[in-house]
Amino acid sequence: MLRITDARTREPVPAAPARRGPTRVEAHAPGRDTSGLRVLLVADLLVRTLELDGTPAWSLLTGAEDRTRLRADAAALGIRPFEDGGAGPGPGAGQAVHVVREGGATPDGATVAVAPVDAVEQRPDEPDALRLALLEHHHHARVELDAAALDDARDTLARWRRAVAAWARQPSRPVPGEIRDQLRAAWENDLDAPGVLSVLRRVETDPDLPDGARFETYAYADRFLGLHLARDIGTPV
């Protein structure tokens, strides 16, 4: 079960009701800068993890100005759409989890605080590179994002996409149970994206894993990461 660190108490709390009722995820984006987008990214990870665990999630965007442009920026980053906040709890809605920028107001209810980003102003040609560069750091850690970090993320994405496209040509094999457990343990432990990426790096170089199992592992992990790792399947490698 997904547990998050509640910014109000600094203690881990469940992000889903005990009876698997829906969870309302409210993203409080402070603006269109990279720190604001990181808030939406963490909310997106939260929704993805709840859904992987079979928990219905209702995602809302509140407290943001110029929501049309913010939504466009978020979509480019692979963040799925959020409804407008303030529409009430919704039919059958369960508990709420708020995602806010660190240092901002803490609403009533479980709250995930997201550290800010010190970023260069330019956005990369490959938005997924920005997403990966942010995922390399736990959301409680402040990020210093520069051109070198974006270049590293771009190179990693290109390498992984080439590898996934090549592995897809081999007979499929299931995700090994131990690796599946490691991935779930990471993302259910306060949305530990760096932990998920660490598992993928081990899988990439493990000489004992068949390529078909590598492919299925990356495809499974990408349901959480949202990096379009299978994008190049069917293209020359």
| Exposure on the CB side of residue 195, measured as CA atoms within 13 A | 16
Share of the chain above pLDDT 90, in %: 73
3-state SS assignment for residue 150: helix
Residue ranges of the domains in the chain? 3-114, 120-237
* Band (87; pLDDT cuts 50, 70, 90): very low
Handedness of CA 78, 3, 119, 31 (dihedral sign): positive
Q: What is the pLDDT of residue 93?
A: 55
Question: Do 190 and 5 form a contact (C-beta atoms < 8 A)?
Answer: yes
Distance, CA of 234 to CA of 77 (rounded, Å) = 23
φ/ψ (deg, to 5) at 168: -65, -15
Quote the crossing angle between the two packed helices 193-205 and 211-225, to the nearest 10°: 170
Taking Cα atoms as reference points, which of 30, 96, 33, 92 lies closest to residue 59?
Answer: 96
Could you tell me the pTM of the whole model? 0.93
> What does the pLDDT look like over 179-234, one tens digit per residue?
999 999 999 999 999 999 999 999 999 999 999 999 999 999 999 999 999 999 98
Q: What pLDDT, on a 0 to 100 scale, did the predictor assign at position 234?
A: 87
